[in-house]
C-alpha cells in the first residue's frame, strides 16, 4: 500500500484526535497541525506523540502565508480541516473571531491548495447548524434535514460555516479542486469539550459521584432542555470523513444517525444509568439560553448510506454509556 500524507488541523480536539488514530492505522503520515499555545493542550493525542508518522507542527489558519508554506512543504494527498471556533454560544460573544477562523481561514486553505498543491483532496467540516430553524418534511409529517434542505443558520457560527461551505463549492466548480464538505450533525465522545452540553452533563455526574454524592455539591446548571439534536459518536463520523476523500468525485454529504433526541432525553438517560433523578440535581439557568436557538435537528443520511456505504455503528444509548465510561 502506497503511503499517503494527510494534513489534519484541529488535532487537539475530539475529531482531530480520532481521525489521526484512524489515518495512522491506515498507513498515513499525519501532519498534525495545532495553533501555538502557552499551555499544554495535547491531552487527546498524547498517546500518538511517539509515533514517527505523527508529525506535530504549529499552524494558524488565519495566517495565509503560514498556511501556504505548510501546504507547499508537505504537498499532502489529503487535507482535513477540522480547526474552528466550534462553540455556538461563543460565536454570539465573538462573531468577528468566529468568522475570521471559520470562513477566512478556510479560504486561506483553498487558496493554498489551488496555488501550491492542486492534487490535494480537501475535506471541510461543515455543520448541521447551517440548517438553523429550517427543515424538510415527509408526507407522514416527519421532519428532517438533508443535502437538499434550504439552509437558514441562526448563529454567527452557522453563518460562518455556511460561508465556508459555499466557498468550497466555488473552488470545486471554478478551479476543479477535489474539495468536499461533510455536513456533520452533533457527534460526541469521551473526548468532547467540557463546554458542550453532553459533556457538561456527563462531567457533572462523574464529579458528583466522585464527591461521594455530597449534599453540598452544586447543582447542574443547564439552559434549553427542549432543543432536539441528532447525536452520534465521533468515531463513526471521522470514518465518514475519510471515506469521502476516497471517492472518485467530490461531493457533500449529510452525516447523521437519522434519529433526534432532546437535551432532556440525554439528561434523563444519563442520570438514569447511574440511578439519579435529574429533578433533584438540575437547575435551569436563563443565562444559558441563546439569543436565537435551533430547536430541531434530525439528519437524513440516506445519501451517505447509499453512495459511501457509511452507516453509524454506535447507538444513542451506547454513546451515553461510552461517555460515562460504563
Could you tell me how far CA 243 lies from the centroid of its own chain? 16
In a domain, 114, yes or no: yes
- Residue-level pLDDT at 1: 64
Domain contains 113: yes
Whether residue 56 lies inside any domain: the answer is: yes
Residue 166 has pLDDT above 70, yes or no: yes
Question: Would residue 271 count as lying in a domain?
Answer: no
Decide if 210 is inside a domain.
Answer: no
pLDDT at 86 over 80: no
Is 127 a residue of the active site?
yes
Classify residue 221: in a domain, yes or no: no
Give Cα separations from 306 to 259, 302, 310 (angstroms): 18, 6, 8
With respect to residue 301, please indicate whether it lies within any of the assigned structural domains.
yes
Helix axes 64-74, 105-116, angle to 10 degrees: 40
Return d(Cα 281, Cα 271) in angstroms, integer: 10
Domain boundaries, position 51:
4-189+230-259+297-314
Query: Which entry of 157, 171, 208, 253 is annotated as an active-site residue?
Result: 157
φ, ψ for residue 91, nearest 5 deg: -65, -25
**Region 240-254 average pLDDT:** 98
User: Collapsing DSSP states into helix, strand and coil, what is residue 150?
Assistant: coil
The CA-atom distances, in angstroms, between 192 and each of 47, 187, 208 are: 17, 9, 19
Looking at 129, 188, 208, 296, which residue is catalytic? 129
- Is residue 110 scored above 90 in pLDDT? yes
pLDDT of residue 326 exceeding 70? no
Average pLDDT over residues 119-137: 95
Burial class (CB in 10 A: 0-12, 13-18, 19+), 293: middle
Would you say 155 and 93 are in contact if contact means Cβ atoms under 8 Å apart? no
Q: Does 214 map to a domain? A: no
Closest CA to 196 of 205, 186, 206: 186
Nearest CA to 80 out of 28, 130, 40, 129 is that of 28
Query: 70, 107, 120, 127: which one is catalytic?
Result: 127
Model pTM? 0.93
Question: Active-site residue 129, yes or no?
Answer: yes
Strand partners, 33: 9, 57
Our count of domains for the chain comes to 1
pLDDT digits (tens, 9 = 90+) for 90-106: 889 999 999 999 999 99
Per-residue pLDDT at 169: 98
Tell me the backbone φ, ψ of residue 122, rounded to 5 degrees.
-110, 130
Instruction: Give the domain CATH number at 235.
Output: 3.40.50.720
The mean pLDDT of 159-181, rounded to a whole number, is 97
Strand (E) or helix (H) holding 151: none
* pLDDT value for 239: 98
- Give the pLDDT confidence of 184-240 residue by residue, as tens digits: 999 999 999 888 999 999 999 999 999 999 999 999 999 999 999 999 999 999 999
pLDDT digits (tens, 9 = 90+) for 16-67: 999 999 999 999 999 999 988 767 789 999 999 999 999 999 999 999 999 9
Q: Is residue 157 annotated as a catalytic residue, yes or no?
A: yes
Amino acid at each position: 500500500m502506497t503511503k499517503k500524507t494527510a494534513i489534519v488541523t484541529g488535532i487537539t480536539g475530539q475529531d482531530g484526535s480520532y481521525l489521526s488514530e484512524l489515518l495512522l492505522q491506515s498507513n498515513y503520515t499525519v501532519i498534525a497541525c495545532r495553533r501555538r499555545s502557552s499551555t499544554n493542550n495535547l491531552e487527546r493525542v498524547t498517546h500518538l506523540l511517539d509515533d514517527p508518522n505523527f508529525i506535530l507542527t504549529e499552524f494558524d489558519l488565519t495566517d495565509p502565508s503560514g498556511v501556504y508554506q505548510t501546504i507547499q512543504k508537505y504537498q499532502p494527498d489529503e487535507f482535513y480541516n477540522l480547526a474552528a471556533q466550534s462553540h455556538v454560544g461563543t460565536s454570539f460573544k465573538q462573531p468577528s473571531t468566529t468568522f475570521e477562523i471559520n470562513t477566512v481561514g478556510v479560504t486561506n486553505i483553498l487558496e493554498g491548495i489551488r496555488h501550491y498543491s492542486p492534487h490535494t483532496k480537501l475535506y471541510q467540516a461543515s455543520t448541521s447548524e447551517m440548517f438553523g430553524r429550517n427543515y424538510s418534511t415527509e408526507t407522514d409529517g416527519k421532519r428532517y434535514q438533508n443535502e437538499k434542505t434550504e439552509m437558514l443558520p441562526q448563529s454567527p457560527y452557522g453563518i460562518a460555516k455556511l460561508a465556508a461551505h459555499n466557498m468550497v463549492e466555488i473552488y470545486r466548480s471554478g478551479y476543479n479542486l477535489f474539495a468536499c464538505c461533510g455536513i456533520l450533525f452533533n457527534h460526541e465522545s469521551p473526548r468532547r469539550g467540557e463546554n458542550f452540553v453532553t459533556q457538561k452533563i456527563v462531567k457533572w455526574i462523574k464529579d458528583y459521584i466522585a464527591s461521594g454524592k455530597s449534599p453540598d455539591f452544586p447543582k447542574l446548571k443547564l439552559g434549553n432542555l427542549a432543543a432536539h439534536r441528532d447525536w452520534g459518536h465521533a468515531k463513526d463520523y471521522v470514518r465518514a470523513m475519510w471515506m469521502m476523500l476516497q471517492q472518485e468525485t467530490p461531493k457533500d454529504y449529510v452525516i447523521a444517525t437519522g434519529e433526534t433526541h432532546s437535551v432532556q432525553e440525554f439528561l434523563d438517560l444519563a442520570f438514569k444509568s447511574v440511578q439519579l433523578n435529574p429533578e433533584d440535581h438540575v437547575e435551569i439557568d436563563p443565562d444559558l439560553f441563546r439569543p436565537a436557538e435551533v430547536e430541531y435537528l434530525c439528519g437524513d443520511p440516506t445519501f451517505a448510506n447509499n453512495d459511501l456505504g457509511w452507516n453509524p455503528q454506535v447507538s444513542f444509548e451506547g454513546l451515553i454509556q461510552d461517555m460515562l465510561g460504563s
